[in-house]
Amino acid sequence: MRAILGDLRKPAGIIPSGTNRPARRAPRPPKSRGFLRENQDWLETFLELPHGIPSRDCIRRVLSALKPSAFQHCFEAWIGHLIKEDAEGKPVIAIDGKTLRRSHDGRKGLGPLHLVSAWASKQGLALGQVATEEKSNEITAIPELLDQIDVNGAVVTIDAMGCQKDIAKKIVDGKGDYVLAVKENQPKLYEAVREFFSDQRLDERMNTPHREHCTSEQGHGRQEERYYVLAKLPADFVLQRQWPGLKAIGMALRVNTNKDGTTSCEERYFISSRYLSGRRFAEAVRGHWGIENSLHWVLDVSFDEDQSRTRERHMANNLAWLRRFAISLLKRHPEKTSIIGRSRMAGWNNDFLLEVLVRART
C-alpha cells in the first residue's frame, strides 16, 4: 500500500487528493485536502506523516509544478499490471480528444484546454493523455501520445482527424495495427473507399475476399442494426503505397428503425493495417465509441469535468489525468452500481476505498 500512496510529503502523495473525493464535482485541492484531513488517522496506518496533511497551497504548488508527462509516467507500472491482469487477446486502444470547456483564461489569452486521451476500451483503462491548446492540434498531439503508450500487438482506433499517413506509420512502426476512420478530410482516400463499397461495384466486392459481422439491438424506442464489412485491399487500389501498412478497407452501416416505422441509415468508412475477422473489426469500431460513452460522458456527467475552472495548465492537465485514472479504478470494482455510486461509497467507506485502490475484491 505504501508503494501506491507514497509519502504525502512527496509529490506522489498528492494522488489521493484527486481520486478519493466522491464524484459529481470536479476535484479541487481545497476540498480534496478536507478529505485527507478527516481521514488522517486511517492514512497513518499506511504512511508516516510527521508534518501532518499538506496544506492546500502545497497541493496546488505540487500539481502546478509537476510536468504532466512525468506525472503520468509514475502510473505506468500500475497500468501495465492492470492490462496484464485482463489479458484476453490484444487490446483495442481508442484515441480521441475532449475539451475542458471552462478552463479558458481570458486575461492570459488562453482558450480552453484540449486533451487527447488513449483508452483501452475493453479493460476500461486510461493509458495516457496529451494536452493541446486547440482541437485542431490533435494531429500533432497524437504522435506524442503514441510515444507514451505501448501499442505492440494492439489495435489502435482514431477518428477521421487522426487519419494521417505519419500517424499510421508510427502505429505500424510500434508493431501495432490501426483502424482509422475515413472522411472528407482525406478526399482521395474517402472517394476510393466509398466507391469500392458502392452498389455499382457489388459484384466485384462479392468476388473480393471479405469478412462480415452484424448485430441487432433494441432500446430507446428503436431497433438498431449494424453491419460491418472488411475487405482485403483490392489489387488495383491506387492509394495502397501512400498509406503505410494498409491491408484492408471497411464499412460500418447502422440502420435505425423507429416506432413509427421510419428508418435512418449511416455509413462510415475505415482503413486497416490488418485483415481482421468481422467480429474483431466490429469490436474496433464499437470500441472507439466506447471512449465517448465510457470515458468522456462519465467525466462530464459524474465528475462535472466541464465545470472545472482550473486555469493553470499543468495543474488542469494533472487533475484531468487523476479523474481519468480514478474512473479506471472505479470501473474495475465489481460493485453493481454506477460510477457515481462507487465513488460516493469510496468517500464514505475507507474499506471500500482500499478495495478500489488495490483491487482486493475479485
Segment 73-107, tens digit of pLDDT: 888 777 877 776 555 567 899 999 998 888 887 78
Q: Tell me the residue range of the domain where 36 lies.
A: 1-65+314-362
Residue 332 confidence (pLDDT)? 86
Tell me the three cell numbers of residue 303.
465528475
Residue 23 confidence (pLDDT)? 52
DSSP state of 105: B
For residue 165, pLDDT beyond 90? yes
Mean pLDDT lowest among 28-37, 67-76, 82-91, 311-320:
82-91
Confidence of residue 130 (pLDDT cuts 50, 70, 90): very high
Q: In what order do the strands lie in the sheet with 263-272?
A: 125-132, 113-120, 92-100, 155-158, 177-182, 263-272, 248-258, 222-232, 210-219
Annotate 236-256 with DSSP letters as a single string: T-TTGGGSTT--EEEEEEEEE
Task: Give the H/E segment covering residue 156.
Answer: strand 155-158
Confirm whether 221 is domain-assigned: no
Helix residue ranges, H only, 274-348: 278-290, 297-301, 313-332, 339-348
Annotate 198-211 with DSSP letters as a single string: SGGGHHHHHTS-EE
Segment 50-69, tens digit of pLDDT: 888 888 888 889 889 999 98
Tell me the three cell numbers of residue 51.
508534518
Residue 101 confidence (pLDDT)? 80
Residue 29 confidence (pLDDT)? 52
Helix pair angle (339-348, 313-332), 10° resolution: 100
For residue 145, pLDDT beyond 80? yes
Highest mean pLDDT range out of 79-93, 268-282, 290-304? 268-282
Confirm whether 172 is domain-assigned: no
Mean pLDDT of 349-360: 83
For residue 163, pLDDT beyond 90? yes
Mean pLDDT of 303-316: 86
Q: How many structural domains does the chain have?
A: 1
For residue 355, pLDDT beyond 80? yes
Confidence of residue 170 (pLDDT cuts 50, 70, 90): very high
Confirm whether 51 is domain-assigned: yes
Calculate Rg over the CA atoms of the chain.
Answer: 22
Mean pLDDT of 307-318: 87
Confirm whether 161 is domain-assigned: no
Of 350, 308, 338, residue with least CA distance to 31: 308
Of 173, 168, 153, residue with least CA distance to 93: 153
Residue 13 confidence (pLDDT)? 43
Chain position carrying cell 472517394: 191
Confirm whether 326 is domain-assigned: yes
Confirm whether 341 is domain-assigned: yes
CA dihedral sign, ordered 231, 233, 239, 243: positive
Mean pLDDT of 270-279: 96
Tell me the three cell numbers of residue 305.
469535468
For residue 362, pLDDT beyond 70? no
Confidence of residue 245 (pLDDT cuts 50, 70, 90): very high
Confirm whether 60 is domain-assigned: yes
- 230 three-state secondary structure: strand
Confidence of residue 225 (pLDDT cuts 50, 70, 90): very high
For residue 22, pLDDT beyond 90? no
Residue 219 confidence (pLDDT)? 78
For residue 214, pLDDT beyond 70? yes
Mean pLDDT of 155-183: 96
The pair phi, psi for residue 291, each rounded to 5°, is: -65, -30
Residue 135 confidence (pLDDT)? 65
Annotate 162-227 with DSSP letters as a single string: G--HHHHHHHHHTT-EEEEEE-TTSHHHHHHHHHHTSGGGHHHHHTS-EEEEEEEEEETTEEEEEE
Could you tell me what percent of the chain has a pLDDT over 70?
A: 88
